[in-house]
Structure 1
Amino acid sequence: MGSAGTGVRYERDGHVVTITYDRPEKRNAIDGDMRRAINAAWDRFRADDEAWVAIVTGAGSAFCAGADLRSETGNPAGDFPGSFWEKPTVNSLESGWEIFKPIVAAVNGPAVGYGVTLLTWCDFVIASERATFTFPEVRLGMPTIVGALRLPRMIDRQHAMELLMTGDTIDAHRAREIGLAGWVVPPESLMDTARSLATRLTAGAPLAQRAIKEMAVRGPEMGTTEAIRFGETMRKVVGATDDAAEGVAAARERRTPVWRAR
């Protein structure tokens, strides 16, 4: 359960996976090799029936310094096979892979570019007091695309546009003020806080959690009637699972349910 590839560690303890971006000598900046390893790690988490919750963090003093613009091992954005018009635009978690299992970010230091985009797909962001957050692309003459789609849905639009359009860096307390981070904790408490939250999440029914996350993601893109119909259909599907039956039985018998994600 160790390395998922160059620059990434993948470890599972019970139903909780910890994915560590592990290129500390480059502040966890993503080169081609690391991109392939990151994608493999998230794909592994998505496919593993025993993996219910993920914690993502960085090794060393940084969370993720974004793309390594000096990468000698390929495109930090990932591989795009085919001609220009055939190239997919969704080829990573940052760009929009649908992983509806709960994800907790433990931001131990600077989060830059890809590092902040990753947070917009996480459900919980716990920041160390040493964490900072930056979208620098605009200062390099480039637009931020996925961040511009997701960040205004996550936090107040004006605060999102300020980050995206100025390229300024904010600290952990400002991130908490604007809703980018949910918690700010001392560095030495970061991983314990993240693990505690992940453990609390495993008390909930995994399939119900995934339906909730999918509803939260897809619902705002639908009309109200379509969203409610979609949600009620999902409720019926989840209600027919073994876990739903176990939840009812456990409540009746006044005991803790034993979830199996089935």
Structure 2
Amino acid sequence: MGETVLYERTGHVATITYNRPEVLNAVNGRLRQELNAAWDRFLGDDDAWVGILTGAGRAFCAGADMADGAGSVGTFEGTFWEKPTINSFESGLELFKPVIAAVNGHCLGYGFTAALACDFLIASDRATFGFPEVRLGVPTIVGAITLPRRVAWADAMELLLTGERVDAERAKQMGLVWRVVPHDDLMAEAHALAERLVASAPLAVRATKEVAVRTRNISWVEAVRFGETMRLVAGATEDATEGMTARAEGRTPDWQAR
């Protein structure tokens, strides 16, 4: 993909890696651009069914590179603001393929926001999590929107307003982390989960995730109507026919994402 972000696909699993280990994968302007391009590539790759996001070296992502204002924080008329882009995964890119965060170390600020955007968060026992922005005199924005939707209010405010870090076990207790695993087993665990996910029909998986995402804040009747519409759309695919045929014939389905 580039020098600061690596993109590798093996089978139907794409791995996106922050690749500035010398600065703990801090996000500068170039990394941000290459990361957005990587997500765009994943979104458009019909053969990439599941994504894994991780970091090179001893950090997942230590947040914005304070030496480079083109990272995730800029200035506008004397005040600080975050600059989301239309293809920014952490700021709400509509991506219905499942994504796994494999958090291998420090996961702070921008990196923490990206991890929260993933469907599964598997953490190394060496991982730490935090939003240090308030200790630097700037507010957390996207993280302040997403974090209270994931954990209890007081737990969210503890992280957002103190700027302190928590370890992987504390993050799991809060409900931020799905699993904590020994550091050396992290990527094996992430890939094992990815292989479980690609065993399912990819279009049905995306339709199911889209229903889950879009129906969170609408009425029950609207949610069911939307879900049933998605069922009709997914049911008309070649994969839906293949799934039923494979079941009748007692064999493993051969999904084509069509």
Shorter-chain TM-score: what band? over 0.9
* Structure-2 separation of matches of 1:160 and 1:208: 33
Offset, 1:167: 1.2
Are 1:49 and 2:46 counterparts? Answer: yes
SS of residue in 2 equivalent to 1:75: coil
Which residue of the partner structure matches residue 62 of structure 1?
A: 59
Which residue of the partner structure matches residue 35 of structure 2?
A: 38
Question: Which amino acid letter does the alignment assign opposite residue 174 of structure 2?
Answer: I
Which residue of the partner structure matches residue 230 of structure 1?
A: 226
Question: Which amino acid letter does the alignment assign opposite residue 93 of structure 1?
Answer: F
SS of residue in 1 equivalent to 2:89: coil
Are 1:159 and 2:160 counterparts? Answer: no
* Structure-2 separation of matches of 1:261 and 1:123: 20
Alignment of 1:89-108 (within 5 A): 90-108=86-104
Which residue of the partner structure matches residue 181 of structure 1?
A: 177
Distance change (3 Å), C-alpha of 1:8 and 1:89 = closer
* Structure-2 separation of matches of 1:246 and 1:219: 28
Offset, 1:158: 2.5
Offset, 1:144: 1.4
* Structure-2 separation of matches of 1:150 and 1:90: 17
* Structure-2 separation of matches of 1:120 and 1:18: 17
> Please, which of 203, 206, 209 is the counterpart of residue 205 of structure 2?
209
Which residue of the partner structure matches residue 72 of structure 2?
A: 77
SS of residue in 1 equivalent to 2:254: coil
SS of residue in 2 equivalent to 1:106: strand
Structure 2: runs of 5 or more not aligned: 75-82
* Structure-2 separation of matches of 1:91 and 1:239: 29
* Structure-2 separation of matches of 1:177 and 1:110: 18
Are 1:123 and 2:138 counterparts? Answer: no
Offset, 1:26: 0.6
Q: TM-score scaled by structure 2?
A: 0.93
Does the CA-based 8 Å contact 2:103-2:124 persist in structure 1? yes
Does the CA-based 8 Å contact 1:55-1:106 persist in structure 2? yes
Question: Which amino acid letter does the alignment assign opposite residue 37 of structure 2?
Answer: A
* Structure-1 separation of matches of 2:96 and 2:156: 24
Offset, 1:156: 2.5
Q: Deviations over 1:93-142 (max 9, x none)?
A: 11111111010111000000011101121011110010000111122222
Distance change (3 Å), C-alpha of 1:188 and 1:95 = same
Which residue of the partner structure matches residue 250 of structure 1?
A: 246
Does the CA-based 8 Å contact 1:78-1:91 persist in structure 2? no
Structure 1 window deviating more from structure 2 (224-233 vs 23-32): it is: 224-233
Does the CA-based 8 Å contact 1:134-1:170 persist in structure 2? yes
Offset, 1:6: 2.9
Q: TM-score scaled by structure 1?
A: 0.91
Which residue of the partner structure matches residue 168 of structure 1?
A: 164
Q: Deviations over 1:127-181 (max 9, x none)?
A: 0010000111122222212112211222223212221122110000011111111
Question: Which amino acid letter does the alignment assign opposite residue 185 of structure 1?
Answer: V
